Amino acid sequence: MRILTVIDVFSFTPAGGAGTVMYNIARELSRRGNDMHVICRRRNDLPLEGVIDGINFHTYDANPQSHTDLLSKGTGMVRKIFSDLHKQKPFDALHGHHPLPVYAIKRLDTAKNLPCFMHFHSPWHEEYLTRKTRSWKNFYRLPAVWFFSSMRRRTEKWALDNSTKIICLSDYMKQKIAVTHKIREDKIAIVPGAADMERFVPVADKTALRKKLALPADKFILYTVRSLIPRTGIDKLIKAMQIILPEAPDAVLVIGGTGPLEDELKQMAEDMGIDDNVIFTGFIPNEYLAPYYQASDLVVMPTQELEGFGLVTVEAMACGVPVTATPVGGNIEVLSGFDKSLLTAEKDETAIAQTILSLYNDKARMSGIADRCREYVEQNYTWQKVADKLLKLLTPTTINH
């Protein structure tokens, strides 16, 4: 099949959750003989036109700081590229990972009958609000925030209504879309995320790896890699460290990622007097994602809201590293099938600390959990299994329905 995949932006530095899902699915479908094309806004690490891992990338530039530029090029350039490609040889299906390019293409007469399968990663307007309402504190600016939020919600609703099938990574997100956009449940399929089992593998010598990463060799390393924004709960995890350290003085929290809360979080650790036990790595390059998991004793997901799946969880577990997470969204579904005790009782710092300490104080139990992690991911969360499920949705019967 000739399949067009669209996403708002893609980069390997970083790919982000939606980008990782998009890229791995497109790569796996290409390996199975499908003619895969991607239209997206690019960052510096993508060519305007090029083939990467069998995927044909067609990209455009836009200023990410300008709403006008993002919207005009996110519709106009996407339509132009699509029209040129579709004229050369018609596509069999459209696979969307963001509502704006789906909206742009499906509004065209030439694409009205093109079957569209849309991944719903999270509500576009809610993601926007979690990033904006805390930082835009001046009241006079709030009307603009709510205007752009409403625009995102309406655009997403139209794209979903005009999709043949909607794909969610978790039942949590399926319920979210049903409530937020009043979508029929029979239109939604659940296809979870996955880990690249060739890339995310266990290592025998953590000490040598820690030396390479300039991490302390003899500490109990807690690791999290997240955008430093309110919904990811890094502040709760830092507060949990204040509870953890009296009982586990060798614990060190390594925080990977960047975001608008970075300075505030660093100041929080300093004010608490625990900054010697909290390491901010900044941006983690793509090639270092696996090594940081592998060097850790425990990965923590302190999410407060909107966890559509949690690729970090399955990637870390594929490396043989246990993961503990708050009972939010996709965290529940991934860990409940493995070991419910890895879910914290609540999403506050006390509950996070209690779960971490229960593992710290029972190293034999932790070792047993680590031994089972990779097998669990192999059985349930590989990109090959994801492709199998998607191809069943992309059968001629479904496309022509």
Q: Each residue of 65-116: pLDDT tens digit?
A: 888 899 899 999 999 999 999 999 999 999 999 999 999 999 999 999 999 9
- Asked whether residue 323 is assigned to any structural domain, the reply reads yes
pLDDT digits (tens, 9 = 90+) for 11-51: 887 778 999 999 999 999 999 999 999 999 998 889 899 99
User: Could you give the 3-state DSSP secondary structure of residue 259?
Assistant: coil
Mean pLDDT, rounded, for 385-401: 78
Same domain as 390, residue 276: no
Q: Is 172 in a helix, a strand, or coil? A: helix
Residue 140 is predicted with a pLDDT of 43
- Domain of 15 in residue numbering reads as 2-194+383-399
CA 389 to chain centre: 19
For the chain, the C-alpha Rg in angstroms (whole number) is: 21
Look up residue 171 and give its two tokens.
């039942």
> Which of 26, 34, 78 lies closest to 52 in space, CA to CA?
26
Residue for token pair 């990637």: 315
pLDDT for the residue 16: 86
For residue 226, the domain's CATH number is 3.40.50.2000
Phi-psi region of 272 (alpha: psi -120 to 50; beta: other; left: phi over 0): alpha
Burial class (CB in 10 A: 0-12, 13-18, 19+), 17: buried
The verdict on residue 58 lying in a domain is yes
Q: Which residue has the tokens 């939020």?
A: 149
Q: Give mean pLDDT, residues 364-368.
A: 97
Q: Please tell me whether residues 66 and 189 are part of one structural domain.
A: yes
Assigned domain for 200 exists = no
Q: What is the pLDDT of residue 136?
A: 40
Cα gap 166→7, rounded to integer Å: 15
Domain count, the chain: 2
Answer whether 194's CB lies under 8 Å from 314's CB: yes
